[in-house]
Amino acid sequence: MAASESDQAGQEYEHYEAVVVGCGPGGAAAAARFADHGVETLVLERGTEAGSKNVSGGLIYAEDSAPYTIDDLFENFREEASERPVTDYKIHNIAGNKVKTYDLTDLHEHDTDWCDAVLRRPMDSWLEQRVHEKTSETGGGVLTDVRVNGLLRENGEIVGVTCDELDPITADVIVAADGVNSELARDARLMDWDEPDEWFQGVKATVEMDGETIADRFEIDDEEGVAHLFSGDLFDDVRGGGFLYTNEDSLSIGTVFHLDSLVAEQAEPHQLLDSLLTHPLLAQWFRGEYREREYAAKLVPDSKKVAHKEPYRDRLVLVGDAAGQMQAQGPIIKGMNHAVSAGALAADAFVVSRGNSDPESAGRRYAKMLERSGTMDKLRPRRYDVARTVGERDIVANAVDRVLESPIGSVAVGNPLSKRAMKRAYNSPFLVSMLPDTSTGYVTLPSIIGEEHGRTIHWENEVEPPTLEERIGDLTYDTDVGNPHIRLQDESFEASGDAVYACPVSAEDFGGGCYRSETVKTNGSEETLVSLDTQPCVECGTCAIVADTEWEHPRGGKGVEYREG
Amino acid sequence: MEGRMRSVVLTKGVPDFSEGAVSFNEEGHLERGKTPTVMNPNDEVALEAALQTKVRHGGHVSGMSMGPPGYASVLEEAMESVYADDSYLLSDRELAASDTWATAITLCSALEKYQETVAEIDLIFAGFKTADGETGQTGPQTAWALERPIVTHVLALDIDPDERVLRAKRLVEGDVDEIETVEAPLPCMVIADPEFSPTYRKASHRLTHKRLRGETEERAADHEAHLTTWNHEDLNLDPDYIGLDGSPTIVSSVDPIPKAPSEREATMIEPDDGEGMERVLEELQPYAGGD
């Protein structure tokens, strides 16, 4: 049983050596390492089961150069918790019905030991079981349905956590692995939620397809899987792209866009997903059959901009999305692997600095380990910082776009010689890491490639994706009636209207979503106001950035419950 | 470990009154043979109170029930939900048709036998009342027979094992509902109010709860190995004082309450019946002003 520690007022708190908040891959890795070191570890997870709050594309990588991989820490991970390995990796450059496909397997295999598709509910719930077994042996365990809502401080110093469901708990080290909307990172003032250009937003459909059909239509065997990426003009001018990954008996199909671009274009995320789902290119795999198991959404930090270089304060360390550790550059999206490295390193850092009276010694060592292991340079490549200053200046970008779109530029990219060069460029990890985040890389270039080199697709796509209302209707919720977790601070359209479009479960002229706009007549003048109903909320956090809200997670076990994730 | 609590939970099987499960004959009498038996819903609350005690203070919980051999399934259900350690079934033809008095005498004898042959009891838990009899008498009568203090309508419970004192919040219903805080010495009997809800605000308590759940799954799968059945001879009871013969209550007759006739008249109109829909609009017209 846990020892107790008391504050000045004589209040007795429960105490654990380590408290880990969140049981995703980052939290699981930290907890597993703590347990390996014999540290008494309590893991607090707000979902009713780990994975019920989690969404990813999702591919999990094991990099050759990584300090830790998930199968290092959890035996039989690949056999028991993941879906198909990615054995074939392609990108499709799309211009209308014309498509040019490049094989990206070389890029994909760079520094890759293995890479598997995963669904987060089955994966994370499997991890939870393992973590509970391991941590139970050292006097702790995993508790679900518990939401950590903030930090416990003594004399201004962080010493523990506060929860909705439990009395405050003190710890020698606190690992915040509470995801992209980390309440602890915000409480510690290590992260803010202000700039849309620091984030991506993804939406995903998990689509039913039995294993035999997958093997047949993607021309793979049982032990193989594919990853397809999609870019070009099928998303109009919104910067981002699409993906399709094969699971054991389903497909993960989604789209990921820069949040600032979604906002600027007033694009509806679910409609962009539908643009992909209904593109003729996908008809060859659907053959007119489409059953969506789950619609999901996630906010993704752009590590190039927000990965925290010193992700600690006092006894608190941040891990994974909570620290902005999500690498998205060009077609590569890597998050879970970095969370695993970070979580394990954070635990190691605590153990080697244990006994040091300076409460920040573990955090400092953790930051150093992130640096030395090369993890930080993957998250925030130095060459990107250099390239960005040039590439993202609008003038330069526009000039490049204009040249590419001009007859001369198109000819240059369309030149048979450049065909090979283009594929090589796509497969260069070095070049890809420098791609600026303008529409050049996402829209202009792929469209020209598609237009100049592409072959016209003649399939008819007859798929009709579910409406947003049907998608919301199919999700499972345990609504905390009368206790909304988001409050709208400013209901003017100027302050919060962007959420009507950018929220993945809201849409213009749709009354069943979270955010709705309505025109109100007052004293002869008209005003457009925004209203909020949190019932359909999928807890992605988009509105916390694009609207003026007071945003918290729902209480433990409440809110949306993903079955696939 | 210091402060371990020995608890016995009294539970009863009742007909499943839920829609679709319950069966009535033409006269409106309950057909027990055709209606499945489930644990009395109020007992679940008593079980929660016993579980909270075990989680917080450690110890042992036994489930106890009087009824036909089929009630073993109710005790098994109790074991699963309360993580009970073992079950005691008081089952015998001589015990059939007991009223609350005869039941209390039987339960009292069983609890005394438990104290003599198994262990000293610190706490006895029971539900508020049963869904079939609705008397709410058996618990208090049992406490009286045992000469133990009883705390009823318990909403929240805290035990000080060192002082051997129970502190409870209890609901006092009246013109104005009040919540009373009372203390009672152990051993005593606790009747949980249907509003009782267990609280686990410590991580260590929740971890214990989770561990017990894991352990119980295995035990409940082999319930018979943990079940002890006692008949009236085991309890040294005189057949004249138990069962039907020992029951002073006489139920002379049971009258079904007739359903109130519907006072409203309904007219059905199909949505594509244009003429009918117009009549609906006409009928609604006078109210359209919002008055």
Residue B259 in any domain: the answer is no
At residue A350 the predicted structure's pLDDT band, cuts being 50, 70 and 90, is: very high
What tens-digit pLDDT sequence spans chain B (291 residues)?
446 899 999 988 887 877 777 777 776 667 777 788 888 888 888 889 999 999 999 999 999 998 888 888 888 888 887 788 999 998 888 777 777 888 888 899 899 999 999 999 999 999 887 777 677 788 888 889 899 999 999 999 999 999 999 999 999 887 888 899 999 999 999 999 989 989 999 999 999 999 998 888 888 888 888 999 998 888 888 888 777 777 777 777 777 677 777 777 778 888 888 888 888 888 888 887 665
Contact criterion met (CB < 8 Å) for A146 and B201: no
- Does the beta carbon of B201 lie under 8 angstroms from any beta carbon of chain A? yes
Residues A59 and A143 in one domain: yes
| Structural domain span for residue A298 | 85-117+193-302+382-432+434-474
> Quick check: helix, strand or coil at residue A288?
coil
Least Cα separation, residue B66 to chain A (angstroms) = 37
Residue B231 in any domain: the answer is yes
Extract the tokens encoding B280.
């609906």
* Angle ∠(B281,B285,B289) on CA atoms, nearest 5: 140
Nearest partner of A137 among B207, B54, B52, B58, judged by Cα: B207
DSSP symbol at A30: H
Residues A96 and A25 in one domain: no
Q: Between chain A and chain B, how many beta carbons pairs sit less than 8 Å apart?
A: 31
Least Cα separation, residue B204 to chain A (angstroms) = 6
Residue A385: pLDDT above 90?
A: no
Residue B190 in any domain: the answer is yes
- Does the beta carbon of B213 lie under 8 angstroms from any beta carbon of chain A? no
Peptide bond into A355 cis (omega under 30): no
Q: Got the DSSP string for A510-527?
A: -TTSSEEEEEEEETTEEE
pLDDT tens sequence across A452-484: 888 888 888 899 999 999 999 999 999 999 999
How do beta strands A141-143 and A515-522 pair? Answer: unpaired
Contact criterion met (CB < 8 Å) for A44 and B211: no
Least Cα separation, residue B202 to chain A (angstroms) = 6
- Does the beta carbon of A137 lie under 8 angstroms from any beta carbon of chain B? no
Looking up residue B154, the CATH number of its domain turns out to be 3.40.50.620
Question: How many independent structural domains does chain B possess?
Answer: 1
Beta bridge partners of A441: none
Contact criterion met (CB < 8 Å) for B203 and A1: no
Nearest partner of A326 among A200, A192, A503, judged by Cα: A200
First to last CA, chain B: 70
Least Cα separation, residue A15 to chain B (angstroms) = 9
Chain B hits for A40, Cβ within 8 Å: none
Chain A hits for B207, Cβ within 8 Å: 42, 136, 140-141, 143
Question: How many independent structural domains does chain A possess?
Answer: 3
Contact criterion met (CB < 8 Å) for B203 and A16: yes
How do beta strands B188-192 and B150-160 pair? Answer: parallel
- Does the beta carbon of A174 lie under 8 angstroms from any beta carbon of chain B? no
Residues A96 and A122 in one domain: no
- Does the beta carbon of A472 lie under 8 angstroms from any beta carbon of chain B? no
Nearest Cα residue in chain B from A148: B203
Given this model, what pLDDT does residue B266 score?
A: 79
Looking up residue A342, the CATH number of its domain turns out to be 3.50.50.60
CB-nearest partner of B206 from A1, A16, A143: A143
Given this model, what pLDDT does residue B217 score?
A: 84
Contact criterion met (CB < 8 Å) for A166 and B204: no
Report the alpha-carbon distance of residue A354 to residue A315 in Å, rounded. 11
Residue A435: pLDDT above 70?
A: no
Nearest Cα residue in chain A from B206: A143
Least Cα separation, residue B162 to chain A (angstroms) = 18
Among A11, A14, A40, A152, the strongest candidate for a mutation testing the B interface, having the largest count of B CBs within 10 A, is: A14
ipTM exceeds 0.90, yes or no = no
Given this model, what pLDDT does residue A161 score?
A: 98
Residue B254 in any domain: the answer is no
Residue B271 in any domain: the answer is no
Residues A38 and A125 in one domain: yes
Chain A hits for B203, Cβ within 8 Å: 2, 14, 16, 42, 44, 143, 146, 166, 169
- Does the beta carbon of B206 lie under 8 angstroms from any beta carbon of chain A? yes
Residues A284 and A315 in one domain: no
Report the alpha-carbon distance of residue A53 to residue A563 in Å, rounded. 9
Beta bridge partners of B9: B63, B125
Chain A hits for B204, Cβ within 8 Å: 1-2, 14
Nearest partner of B79 among B11, B1, B154, B159, judged by Cα: B11
Nearest partner of A135 among A3, A19, A48, A15, judged by Cα: A19
Please identify, among A458, A474, A490, the residue that sits at the C-terminal boundary of a domain. Answer: A474
Please identify, among A379, A412, A442, the residue that sits at the C-terminal boundary of a domain. Answer: A379
Q: Are A397 and A387 in contact (CB under 8 A)?
A: no
- Does the beta carbon of B199 lie under 8 angstroms from any beta carbon of chain A? no
CB-nearest partner of A167 from B201, B207, B210: B201
pLDDT tens sequence across A407-426: 555 555 655 556 666 666 66
Residues A401 and A339 in one domain: no
